Structure formats: C-alpha cells, structure tokens
C-alpha cells in the first residue's frame, strides 16, 4: 500500500471523565482534537461499543473511532468497527500511548508486538497485527509507582505540555500519511530536525529528544 493507505483511525483510551486527562487516554486526545478542528462531533455507535465521527484529512474522508469499552477490551470494539466499515486491517491506524518511548516522542510503524499494552493485546487477538500504529510516548513510571497507577494518572504540567505537543505532531503527520504513504510519513516523522536556534547561530543541531531507536 502507498499513498491513500490510511482508511480509518481507532484511538485508544478509557471512557469516563475520571480518565479523560490520564496518560493512557492520549489516543483519545488525538481523536478529540481531530474532530474539534473538523467541526464535527462523535456519535454513539452502540452496536460497535464505541463513538464514531467522520473527518476530512487531505481531502479524504476518514472515519475516527473511540472504543467505549475499557482499554483491556478494545479489541471487541475495534473488531466490530472494522467489520462495520468493511475495512482491510492494513488501512487501520491505531493511536495509543507507549511506555517504552520518552514523553512526547511519536513513532509510526506497521505491525509488531503489543509491548505489554493491553489495548493492543486485545485488538491483536481480534483482528491480527497488520494495522498501523501511531505510538505516543508517555515514558516510564518512577521506581516507587507501578505501571497501572502511572498510566491511569495525570501527568505533571511539563510532561502534559509535551504530550499536547505530541498530539500536534500526530495531526501534522496524518496528511502526509494519506498523500505519500506510510514509508514517507515514517521517514518525515522519524528524521531528527535541527533546532532553529542552532541553525541561526551556525551551530550543530541538537540530538532529537526522542531518538532512541
């Protein structure tokens, strides 16, 4: 697949106001930003166990889905969404948080394992692993906090600002994914960019803050 390969987006999170601003819900943040900027609202798809909206990205209509199951049962909802939309799984982009990436780092890929992410684990059990993933780094918990408590808590103000910046990064990458395809979008997203101040001063560009692999 190449240009135009993005057919639909499933953004992961937990339903309910108490989870809205938690790290685990950064996928929902992306979906909400997409619909807000498109001037559309989600509607309840009761048979799908989730909320659905349709946005336009690079002149292409793209359905956006938020499972209203809890994270651990995301696969049931995403599977129903794919069946309803008659989607080829390769055209699905799943947006989710990632403990293995530094806070605010965004990475894009197709396939792979679940990395301990229960939402991905359940999705893979229902539709396989050939979908695209937009991974948003939330970093690792401190030594005195377990992973569950960490992902279900709100980030501090500095980290939250970086997560909000990562949402902007995702939104900026989606048109390229549609227009040029996955490989071009990955290359653009993963290529370190020189800092403007470094260029102006004639210095060397600093290392990309999220470039770990």
Is residue 24 flagged as an active site residue?
Answer: yes
Q: Residues 24, 117, 195, 204: which is the catalytic one?
A: 24
Sheet holding 132-137, edge to edge: 43-45, 50-57, 60-67, 8-11, 92-98, 132-137, 106-110
Q: Which residues contact 96 (CB under 8 A, 6 or more apart)?
A: 11, 12, 26, 27, 117, 119, 120, 133, 134, 135, 136
Residue pair 167/27 in contact by the 8 Å Cβ criterion: no
Active site residues: 24
């Amino acid at each position: 697949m190449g240009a135009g390969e993005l057919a639909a987006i499933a953004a992961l999170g937990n339903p309910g106001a108490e989870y809205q601003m938690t790290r685990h819900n950064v996928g929902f943040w992306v979906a909400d930003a997409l619909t807000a900027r498109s001037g559309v609202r989600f509607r309840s798809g009761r048979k799908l166990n989730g909320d659905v909206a349709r946005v336009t990205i690079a002149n292409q209509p793209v359905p956006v889905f938020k499972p209203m199951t809890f994270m651990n049962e995301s696969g049931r909802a995403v599977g129903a969404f794919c069946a309803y939309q008659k989607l080829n799984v390769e055209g699905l982009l799943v947006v989710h948080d990632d403990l293995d990436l530094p806070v605010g780092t965004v990475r894009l890929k197709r396939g792979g394992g679940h990395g301990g992410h229960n939402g991905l684990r359940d999705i893979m059990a229902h539709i396989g692993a050939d979908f695209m993933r937009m991974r948003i780094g939330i970093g690792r918990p401190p030594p005195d906090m377990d992973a569950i408590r960490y992902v279900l808590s709100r980030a501090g103000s500095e980290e939250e600002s970086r997560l909000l910046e990562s949402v902007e990064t995702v939104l900026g990458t989606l048109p390229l994914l549609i227009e040029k395809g996955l490989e071009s979008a990955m290359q653009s997203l993963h290529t370190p960019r020189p800092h403007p101040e470094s260029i102006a001063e004639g210095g060397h560009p600093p290392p990309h803050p999220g470039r770990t692999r």
